[in-house]
Amino acid sequence: MKNNTKLIRAGQNKKRNAGIVNTPVYHASTVVFDSMAHMLDAQDRNLKKREKNLFYGRRGTPTHWTLQEAISELECAADTFLTPSGLSACTISILGCVKAGGHILVTDSVYEPTRNFCDSFLSGFGVETTYYDPLIGAGIAALIKPNTAAVFCESPGSHTFEMQDLPAISKAAHAKSTPDQPIMVLTDNTWASPLFCQPLNLGCDVSIQAATKYVVGHSDAMVGTISVNDAALPGVANAMSAIGVTLGPDEAYLATRGLRTLAVRLKQHHFNALIVAEWLEKRPEVKRVLFPALPSDPGYEVWKRDCSGACGLMGVVFHRTSYEAITAMIDGMELFPLGFSWGGFESLIAPSNPSRIVARTARPWTEPAPGLRLHIGLEDPEDLIADLEKGLARFNQAL
């Protein structure tokens, strides 16, 4: 079945939901049982057999199961866990794969809060982090130590947009994996979404979504998803259960509702973003547009091989830039409000300074900064270009 069709049908369960198309929101903590035998059976089925049956609110309700099953189908995963934010999906999946005395390899282009978690939190639990060049590919093998338990990827990278060779990294890491020291390969798959890339089919063990972005798609809910293969399932299930996080049912509902229209939205994001990227690329002020779907992007071939589409997020690097010029541009934008996050229906703008924001150690970012991060929304690209043109006039005047 094609992914566009999966998006519409996945996770729907006519019998479970009495024929209602969108699984209703179950607000639940307590679930009552008919007898001791019923309770013990429900406990056993939920905790041990991992069946989707009602046991206790934190362990999930039909509202959660619909989203879990749908994301699992898209990501081609054995199962999917739901968390209350994209960042918690990154951190909990790491906690499910490493233990004290272990070592994790993390891409130098990783989302900065994930990096903070490794530096300020994991280190306190005796887990060592080494950052690696995002373009390392099979060369990752040389960095693997006897205690390496995980390799964390993010493709393309936050702010700098390097595409990673996930098949080569996974193959090299798994070749060094042993029964005593298994190595899990995790990737933050938010940019491509579960629609355009299936990292588990490329050899990864865990695929993470900040579903806050395109899955929810309307900038109104925080959701994380962790999709696992059979190898990663026990560790991540243990971390989820021990930490005790759960996704609110309203957020689960909004994520499923967003998912149904992901294909039409992303098609338009991709279309609009390419028009804007091609226009920006021709501007004399612009040195580089960081967008893997542009044929001029160094990651284009990997993107074409591993992804079936692109989203609306890109970076802009200028030949000459200054804080004042970036401020003059951003402050006067009409259709690009300044704000964190991305993946909603609307365009957004933010300053981007990878050399300062991300204290890269393995492959320093040497492009002129600050630059811009643009999220291209569903507006008409002609209007967006007109707004950017006026913004660049302010940029040039303030330079």
Ligand X SMILES: Cc1ncc(COP(=O)(O)O)c(C=O)c1O
Q: Is 190 a binder of ligand X (CB under 6 A)?
A: yes
Please, which residue, 42 or 151, has the CB nearer to ligand X?
151
Residue 18 burial (CB count, 10 A): 8
**Closest separation in Å from C-beta 60 to ligand X:** 20
Q: Is 162 a binder of ligand X (CB under 6 A)?
A: no
Question: Which are the contacts of 8, defined by CB distance < 8 A and separation ≥ 6?
Answer: 260
**Closest separation in Å from C-beta 381 to ligand X:** 23
**Closest separation in Å from C-beta 353 to ligand X:** 15
Please, which residue, 154 or 165, has the CB nearer to ligand X?
154
Residue type, 181: Q
Using CB under 6 A as the binding criterion, the count of chain residues that bind ligand X stands at 14
Catalytic residues: 58, 111, 188, 213
**Closest separation in Å from C-beta 314 to ligand X:** 13
Q: Is 297 a binder of ligand X (CB under 6 A)?
A: no
Cite the DSSP H helix spans in the chain. Answer: 3-9, 36-43, 62-75, 86-95, 112-117, 166-175, 193-196, 233-243, 249-259, 262-281, 300-306, 323-331, 354-357, 381-398
Stretch that binds ligand X, among 3-11, 84-92, 249-257, 324-332 (CB under 6 A): 84-92
Q: Is 222 a binder of ligand X (CB under 6 A)?
A: yes
Rounded to whole angstroms, the maximal C-alpha distance in the chain is 76
Place of tokens 């040039």: 396
Q: Is 188 a binder of ligand X (CB under 6 A)?
A: yes
**Closest separation in Å from C-beta 380 to ligand X:** 26
β-strand partners of 81: 226
Residue nearest to ligand X as judged by C-beta position: 86
DSSP 337-350: -B-S---SSS-EEE
Q: Report how far residue 374's alpha carbon sits from residue 384's, in angstroms, rounded to the nearest whole number.
A: 11
Please, which residue, 153 or 228, has the CB nearer to ligand X?
153
Please, which residue, 112 or 301, has the CB nearer to ligand X?
112
- In the list 129, 158, 229, 272, the residue contacting ligand X (rule: CB under 6 A) is 158
Query: What are 363's two structure tokens?
Result: 């492959």
Question: Which are the contacts of 74, defined by CB distance < 8 A and separation ≥ 6?
Answer: 3, 6, 7, 10, 194, 195, 198
Residues from 50 through 79 that contact ligand X (CB under 6 A): none
Q: Is 207 a binder of ligand X (CB under 6 A)?
A: no
Q: Is 85 a binder of ligand X (CB under 6 A)?
A: yes
Q: Is 219 a binder of ligand X (CB under 6 A)?
A: no
Residues from 101 through 130 that contact ligand X (CB under 6 A): 111
Query: What are 204's two structure tokens?
Result: 């990864």
- In the list 12, 268, 322, 341, the residue contacting ligand X (rule: CB under 6 A) is 341
From residue 211, alpha-carbon distances to 21, 49, 154, 202 in Å are 21, 27, 15, 20
Q: Is 358 a binder of ligand X (CB under 6 A)?
A: no
DSSP 236-258: HHHHHHHHT----HHHHHHHHHH
Residues lying near ligand X in the complex (CB under 6 A): 85-87, 90, 111, 154, 158, 188, 190, 210, 212, 222, 224, 341
